[in-house]
Chains A and B, each alone.
Chain A
Amino acid sequence: MNDFKTNYVVTRSSRASTVAMVSGIAVLAVLIAAPWWAGRADLRLMAELFLYLSLASLWNLMAGYAGLVSVGQQAYVGFGGYLLFALTMFAGIHPVAALGIVAVLGAIVSIPVAALVFRLRGAYFAIGTWVVAEVFRLSFAQVSVLGGGSGTSLPTKVVKSMASGRQAREWLSYWLALALVIIVIACVFLFLRSRKGLALSAIRDNELAAGSLGINIWWTKFTVYVVTASLTTVVGALIFLQKLRISPDAAFSVNDWTAFVIFIVVIGGIGSLEGPIIGTLVFFALRETLADLGTAYLIALGLVAIVVMLKAPQGLWGIIRSRWDIQFFPLGYRVKGSSLNPSTTGRSKMGRSTLGSTDMGSTEMGASEMGRLEDSSNKKPTENSD
């Protein structure tokens, strides 16, 4: 015990995360160069994948870290799409410049919404956000200059103002989608590593304890909600900049912009940054191979989500992580002591141990007590119900 102080090191990165970072940069370089090696259809598909990954990462930040389970994010997707159309059509703003304005307006509009829906808790919060999305849908259906209930197309003039030539436009919208997904993931990652992110994890683990430590719970959740809304609005703007056509039913579709996103996050692994990435890849792989089955495909997706939630609540990434103890995004703290087997350090329920209690504790314990600790930390949250 006396050599406790000298014999341990706290690190955030691991070999896996270093390897992941290096290979991530390589993959990024390949993706940036995609217009020179991929076909038109592939570019479109990849851009769509990036936009879904953005939505999934943002939803995961809200639900997996802030405990704000929203089924109304389509409100911001549709709002962003409509704003982009309105700004470019009526104010003559360049589409790329409009994206910045869209982000600001998305944040502004989410403030009163948050003030209202934050009065509801848990599952009622979820349905409350859905009501807000319905209000958005019905309101935009009343705006006749934007085509009312049947929607409108982006005028050719606006489309041509993006860039000269079809190829340049396609490349531009691909790069915009890629840039956005990088911004979103970087934002989420840096946010979670910051002081606010630490507060967020504390709230997630125990709201009462976090509050008693002086964390302003309402304000932390509010910040997450507004930032997420702002970025989701930009994603929505890009989605409809690609589609070039918008209608209330498509823009505020609960299936397209929320159900699929939830399935992606649940299947991939909620409460981890890696989960949405894996989930998005699985979702697109399934969709490209099984989409011809139509409704049967959606039924299967629903079944998979239920089974994952019941049998492996940490998703595919949770299974991978518990088997190999790796983390690509260095979020948690790892404690390495000389008397310990390194493979047992740094593991906790959500793959991060921001408060460090489990890991610090394990350093102080002898190896014989490690098993007991592992057992107690592997308890499922559902164990007392059945």
Chain B
Amino acid sequence: MNWINALVQGVLLGGLYALFAAGLSLIFGVMRLVNIAHGDLIVLAAYMGLSTTIMLGIHPLLACVVVIPLMALFGYVLQRGILNQTLGDDILPPLLVTFGLSVIIQNALLEAYSADPQKMNVGILETASLSVGGLSIGVLPLLTFIVAVFVIGGLHWMFYHTGLGRAFRAVSDNQEIAQLMGLNKRHVFGLAMALSLAVTAIAGLLLGVRTNFDPSIGGARLIFGFEAVIIGGLGNLWGTLVGGIVLGVAQTIGAQINPGWQLLAGHLTFLLVLAVRPRGLFPRMTG
């Protein structure tokens, strides 16, 4: 029973990891940009949620009405102001600029909020659980998983059934021809980053109500998201969800064997996938 429990908890944890990964997957798909600051942006969203909750005195999950638009706006400005200048054939500029951004965000959060761990209190929701066939399933992890499925489903629908999605796919396929067809790629990239950070905002809020967070944990969140993307296969959103689940299950099973092995089991699973199926489980494009 313990093993089945670990499996179920792992699947639910995978939902959170898929949310970490969805934003990364989206911007990589549209503009081949890997954002090293992604993890720190997740943590930034968590802190924004914390401040919103305290200042407005509202429920942490309601803070999303403030945090999501703010993060999206930040993403658009960041992309138009800085990141668009780094895109090109050379991979160094985007990598180093987002790396610098990561250090800036991390230390700015440290300056503003100190290194003390924080948590958002969601009251009764924190301990509420459903009893299913002898298993106790937390409402909050279940909610996270459902949100992840809806977000990824929504992104998928947006990609293939809306004008914006068509623009994303067009610039992804061929930037020059997309420009000739009247798309402004700088604007499209800005929108992609805005959407990515909107998803990041949801991920950050759900992270903040689930566990303690402090300014230094961004790097590990980036790695989890990245692992989910690679395990699932580049450019496949549903694959990213599966990748997140694989990672989550690996971690909870590892923790079930020995509490010290939780993170190690996740990383080793990732390296195993890389060794056996270097393009991930369900690849759609090449890196």
Q: List the A side residues contacting B93 at CB < 8 Å.
A: 309-310, 313, 381-382
- Kindly state whether residue B110 has any CB partner on chain A within 8 Å: yes
Q: List the A side residues contacting B267 at CB < 8 Å.
A: 131, 134-135, 138
Q: Which of B84, B99, B100 contacts A385 (CB 8 A)?
A: B84
Give Cα distance in the complex from A47 to B140, angstroms. Answer: 52
A386 and B186 form a contact (CB under 8 A): yes
Q: CB-defined interface of B227-264 with A at 8 Å, one 1/0 digit per residue? A: 10010000000000000000000000000000011011
Give Cα distance in the complex from A328 to B277, angstroms. Answer: 46
Q: B96's closest neighbor in chain A, by CB? A: A309
B103 and A122 form a contact (CB under 8 A): no
Q: B222's closest neighbor in chain A, by CB? A: A127
Given A302-B107, A306-B97, A309-B97, A121:B223 Cβ within 8 A: no
- Kindly state whether residue B226 has any CB partner on chain A within 8 Å: yes
- A-B CB contacts (within 8 Å), total count: 143
- Kindly state whether residue B34 has any CB partner on chain A within 8 Å: yes
Given A123-B34, A123-B91, A384-B88, A266:B223 Cβ within 8 A: no
Give Cα distance in the complex from A339 to B223, angstroms. Answer: 57
B274 and A254 form a contact (CB under 8 A): no
Most A CB within 10 A of own CB, among B33, B91, B101, B227: B91
A135 and B107 form a contact (CB under 8 A): no
Q: List the A side residues contacting B158 at CB < 8 Å.
A: none
Give Cα distance in the complex from A385 to B110, angstroms. Answer: 34
Given A123-B91, A135-B268, A386:B84 Cβ within 8 A: yes
- Kindly state whether residue A71 has any CB partner on chain B within 8 Å: yes
Q: A124: shortest Cβ distance to chain B, in Å?
A: 5
Total contacting residues, chain B, CB less than 8 A: 48
A385 and B87 form a contact (CB under 8 A): yes
A258-299 CB contacts (< 8 Å) to partner B: 259, 262-263, 266, 270, 295-296, 298-299
Q: A134: shortest Cβ distance to chain B, in Å?
A: 6
B104 and A385 form a contact (CB under 8 A): no
Give Cα distance in the complex from A63 to B92, angstroms. Answer: 8
Q: List the A side residues contacting B153 at CB < 8 Å.
A: none
Q: CB-defined interface of B157-173 with A at 8 Å, one 1/0 digit per residue? A: 00000000000000000
B interface residue numbers (CB < 8 A to A) = 33-34, 36, 82, 84-97, 99-104, 107-108, 110-111, 186, 219-220, 222-223, 226-227, 230, 260-261, 263-264, 267-268, 270-271, 274-275, 278, 287
A–B Cβ pairs within 8 angstroms, 18 of them: A69-B92, A69-B95, A116-B271, A119-B278, A122-B91, A127-B222, A128-B274, A134-B220, A135-B271, A259-B99, A259-B103, A262-B96, A266-B96, A295-B110, A298-B107, A299-B104, A299-B108, A305-B96
A interface residue numbers (CB < 8 A to B) = 63, 67, 69, 71, 116-117, 119-124, 126-128, 130-132, 134-135, 138-139, 141-142, 254-255, 259, 262-263, 266, 270, 295-296, 298-299, 301-303, 305-306, 309-310, 313, 381-386
